[in-house]
Amino acid sequence: MPSRRRPKSSPASQSGTQQAGTQLSDAQRFAQSLKDSEEADRRAKQAVADAKAEAERAKAAALEEASRLERAQQAHQRAVEMVKEAKRTGRGRAEADAAWRDAKADLLELETGTRPAWAARPVEAADTDAAERAEEAESAAVDDQDEAAEVD
């Protein structure tokens, strides 16, 4: 009696279909690999450009800081000369001392990062602080009025 089993398909036809599927996935993997590589290259170039831009900003900031320090040193030296001249002539001593104190305070602030306790705040900063306090008080008053209106 003949066997009722189904005949097996030939192994050559099975391997051909498997290779086509594998080649397609290999091609897809290769394409994805290329995309990933291009993206990595783009990110590396962007990182280099960002680092270069940051270095330029840091350099500009350092040059500006050095320039401010040099101007403060020159102003201090001029103030010292004014004090010497005032002592020699006996005139303008108070103005020369005030100029020296301001110049010294500015110089110390640039060198240390904090203004000395004995130094008065610069006029611009004092005006700005006063304006900010006035705005905050005005804003608080408006907020209080709004809250009172909501309660009623």
81-138, pLDDT tens digit by residue? Answer: 999 999 999 888 899 999 999 999 999 999 998 888 888 776 665 556 556 666 776 6
Q: Give CA separation, 147 vs 120, 136, 143, 150, in Å.
A: 39, 16, 6, 5
Tokens of 13: 């036809």
Tell me the whole-structure pTM to 2 decimals.
0.50
Q: Give CA separation, 92 vs 78, 83, 97, 106, in Å.
A: 14, 8, 9, 21
Can you tell me the distance from the alpha carbon of 96 to that of 64, in angstroms, rounded to the nearest whole number?
Answer: 28
73 near 111, Cβ under 8 Å? no
pLDDT above 70 coverage of the chain, percent: 66
